[in-house]
Amino acid sequence: MTISIFEDNDKLRDLIEMLIGSSDEFEVKGSYTNTYDILNKVIKDQPDVIIMDIDMPEHDGIEGVQIVKKKFPDVKIIMHTVFDDDDRLFTCLSYGADGYILKKDASSSLFNAIKEVLSGGAPMSAGIATRVLQTFRKVEKPKNEYNITEREKQILELLTRGFSYRMIGIECSISIETVRRHLKNIYHKLHVQCGTEAVAKAIGERLLML
Amino acid sequence: MTISIFEDNDKLRDLIEMLIGSSDEFEVKGSYTNTYDILNKVIKDQPDVIIMDIDMPEHDGIEGVQIVKKKFPDVKIIMHTVFDDDDRLFTCLSYGADGYILKKDASSSLFNAIKEVLSGGAPMSAGIATRVLQTFRKVEKPKNEYNITEREKQILELLTRGFSYRMIGIECSISIETVRRHLKNIYHKLHVQCGTEAVAKAIGERLLML
DNA sequence: TTGTAAATAACCCTTTTGTGTGATATTTAT
DNA sequence: ATAAATATCACACAAAAGGGTTATTTACAA
């Protein structure tokens, strides 16, 4: 199994290289200080796994993940970084990173992570995994802080689907005047001036499911 | 640290109980064959961690997760099940499950999982973690398949914020007629009939960030 | 150079929206 | 039982939206 390393800190890079090279299972094919021309580096090395730092000068690891995964989706990429903010994390994941290990973890984590991706897993530091699962938590209740009634919600939903006042009236079997009255109340409750703004707010605040 | 177990298979339940009980760190406070009246069971046991099977007669583990997490979000729940289908997995995660371990994994996994949730992590079997990360990949698509131009996007965004045609014109320093023309083009490109529908579609398909 | 796409603008005309004001059932909660 | 929401309908009116058509300018690529 072959590994490529992208890490701009010389000491750390040497350390990782040594750590991995000392194993008889893995071989370090290349190590680099940034992701400049990364495609050719990957083509040359043909690594099974890439250890990717994020913060590197000129061409960083996020760029690297994006480029490599687009061309070689089968190459496993483990992010190895100090950053644990949501922004960078989810950007990397969306580009297809296979693992996300924080540098503050023991270096044995990195070694285990390599074995884990190779067996089809997705190694993550504890806090990272928690953050990822957090995103699946249902947005509790549509808290309806605006006191929109059921009828109003129904009408708002039809509006969202592009129904005109008249069509809404027909759909709900009520007069267009009633539709107007409902929408009037809705706009007032949502503190908006018009239908488009109401729709944007309703979707944005998850008052209705789309 | 105290544990409660929900598992209808008698043999397996005994095994888990023994496995955990043999440790001097953990104490099994209760073990049950289904999640009937689970709230009172949890109130009585006051467990730090719950091991939760999914497939149990009458009241299953999915129901259990939902009920317990709603009242006691701080109790850690590890799903321990044979099922690895997306449906059950993401349902449990949406209810707030903290870990998801497959029964086919070594039983030491379960033991490690308990330690991991207690230290704030989110233990998952390898395949599960991969499945979870997979969902972030397809989210990546701000790919403007409708060929909306920059100018059009800007105008669409103003519309979303409740600007009238006239206000958009003033904001962009163009005549209302031009605004009209742009919106006309936008509606055509998005295959919608009116502004509200366009806004709903634009937000829904992430054509613009809100 | 010519052609295509984007942005700009105007005119006409109909329908739709949004608001103000008022009123009457119907349901729900106290 | 009674008060408070909620849902219903109506009328008038100004403003806005949306559709059709045509045209000019700019920029960039074939």
What single-letter amino acid sits at A137?
Answer: R
**In chain A, residues 142-171 whose CB comes closer than 8 Å to chain B:** 159-162, 164
Contact residues on chain A for B194, CB-CB shorter than 8 A: 162, 164
- Give me the residue label for tokens 């998005």: B190
Contacts of A74 in chain B (CB under 8 A): none
**Which residues, at least 6 apart from B78, have a Cβ–Cβ distance to it below 8 Å?**
B49, B50, B51, B52, B97, B98, B99, B100, B101, B110, B113, B114, B117, B123
Nearest to A153 by CA among A172, A167, A170, A166: A172
Q: Integer distance in angstroms from CA A169 to C1' D2?
A: 32
List strand D contacts in A 129-168 (CB < 7 A): 147, 149-152
Assigned fold of A150-204: Arc Repressor Mutant, subunit A (1.10.10)
Mean pLDDT score, A132-147: 72
- Angle formed at CA B97 by CA B92 and CA B101, multiple of 5 degrees: 85
Which of these, A50, A55, A21, lies nearest to A38 by C-alpha position?
A50
Q: Which residue of chain B is at minimal alpha-carbon distance from A158?
A: B197
Question: If you average pLDDT over every residue of chain B, what do you get?
Answer: 90
> How far from chain centre, in Å, is Cα A193?
34
Per-residue pLDDT for A142 more than 70? no
Token duo for residue A99: 């693992």
Exposure on the CB side of residue A110, measured as CA atoms within 13 A: 27
Q: Which fold has domain A2-137?
A: Rossmann fold (3.40.50)
Residue A22 amino acid letter: S
Tell if A193 CB is < 7 Å from nucleic strand C. yes
How much of chain A, in percent, has pLDDT values that exceed 70?
A: 96
A79: enclosing H helix or E strand: strand A76-81
Q: What is the pLDDT of residues B69-106, one digit of tens each?
A: 999 999 999 999 998 888 889 889 989 999 999 999 88
Closest chain A residue to the Cα of B162, Cα to Cα: A197
**Exposure of B38 by Cβ count < 10 A (0-12 exposed, 13-18 middle, 19+ buried)?**
buried
Strand C: positions under 7 A of a protein C-beta atom: 6-11, 16-23
**Distance, in angstroms, between B87 CA and closest chain A CA?**
13
> Quick check: B162 and A193 CB within 8 A?
yes
Task: Name beta bridge partners: B100.
Answer: B79, B124
Which two structure tokens, joined as six digits, stand for A120? Answer: 């089809």
Any chain B CB within 8 A of the CB of A72?
no
User: What size, in residues, is chain A?
Assistant: 210
Å from A164 (CA) to D11 (C1')? 20
> Residue A92 is which amino acid?
C
Parallel/antiparallel/unpaired status of strands B76-81 and B99-102: parallel
For residue B70, give the nearest of A65, A151, A137 by alpha carbon. Answer: A137
User: Would the pLDDT of A139 be above 60?
Assistant: no
Distance from C-alpha of B119 to C-alpha of B113, rounded to nearest angstrom: 10
Query: Where are the CATH 3.40.50.2300 domain residues in chain B?
Result: 2-137
Residue A106 CB contacts under 8 Å (≥ 6 apart), including other chains: none
Please state the separation of Cα B41 from the chain's center in Å.
26
Strand D bases with any atom < 7 A from protein Cβ? 6-12, 15-23
Contact state of A122 with B132 under an 8 Å Cβ cutoff: yes
Does residue B151 lie within 7 Å of nucleic acid chain C, judged by its CB? yes
B 81-110 residues inside an 8 A Cβ radius of A: 90, 93-98
Q: How far apart are CA A146 and CA B25, in angstroms?
A: 49
Per-residue pLDDT of B10-19, as tens digits, reads: 999 999 999 8
Rounded mean pLDDT of A183-194? 94
Q: Cβ distance B82 to B100 under 8 Å?
A: no
The CA dihedral of A200, A201, A204, A205, to the nearest 10 degrees, is -160
CA atoms within 13 A on the CB side of A56: 28
Q: Do B121 and A129 touch (CB under 8 A)?
A: yes
Distance CA(A129)–CA(A183), nearest Å, equals 43
Q: What is the percent of chain B where pLDDT is above 90?
A: 70
Residue A132 has pLDDT above 80, yes or no: yes
In this complex, the answer to whether residue B152 has its CB under 7 A from any atom of chain C, a nucleic strand, is: yes
Which is it for the CA torsion A22, A23, A28, A34, positive or negative? Answer: negative
Residue A174, pLDDT above cutoff 80: yes
Could you tell me which chain A residue has the CA closest to the CA of B198?
Answer: A162
- Average pLDDT over chain A, rounded to an integer: 90
Let me know the angle formed at the C-alpha of A184 by A181 and A188, rounded to the nearest 5 degrees: 140
Give me Rg for the CA atoms of chain B: 26
Please tell me whether any atom of strand D lies within 7 Å of the Cβ of B183.
yes
Compare CB distances from B162 to A119, A138, A192 and report the shortest one's residue.
A192
Please answer yes or no on whether B133 and A129 come within 8 Å at the CB atom: no
Mutate one of B112, B133, B140, B157 to test the A interface: name it (highest A CB count within 10 A). Answer: B133
Q: Which residue has the higher pLDDT, B143 or A61?
A: A61
Average pLDDT over residues A115-135: 91
Dihedral of alpha carbons B34, B37, B39, B41, sign: negative
Q: Both tokens of residue B165? A: 């045609």
Residues B26 and B114: their CA atoms lie apart, in Å, by 9
Q: How far is CA A167 from CA A154, A175, B136, in A?
A: 13, 10, 38
pLDDT digits (tens, 9 = 90+) for B161-192: 999 999 999 999 999 999 999 999 999 999 99
User: Token pair of B162, please?
Assistant: 């409740």
B172 touches strand C (CB under 7 A): yes
Bigger pLDDT: A141 vs A31? A31
What is the layout of strands, in order, in the sheet containing A2-6?
A27-32, A2-6, A49-52, A76-81, A99-102
Q: What is the model's pLDDT at position B118?
A: 94
| Interchain contact A129–B (C-beta under 8 A) | yes
Residues of B in contact with A132 (CB under 8 A): 122, 132-133, 136
Of B123, B137, B162, the CB nearest to A196: B162
Look at residues B185, B121, B132 and name the one whose alpha carbon lies nearest to residue B156.
B185
Q: Which residue is listed with tokens 């580009």? A: A95
In chain A, where does the domain assigned CATH 1.10.10.10 lie? 150-204
* Alpha carbon separation from B143 to B13, B140, B152, B158 (Å, rounded): 50, 9, 15, 20
| pLDDT higher than threshold 80 for residue A183 | yes
Residues 6 or more apart in contact with residue A50 via CB below 8 angstroms = A3, A4, A5, A6, A42, A64, A68, A75, A76, A77, A78
pLDDT-based confidence at B141, cuts 50/70/90?
low
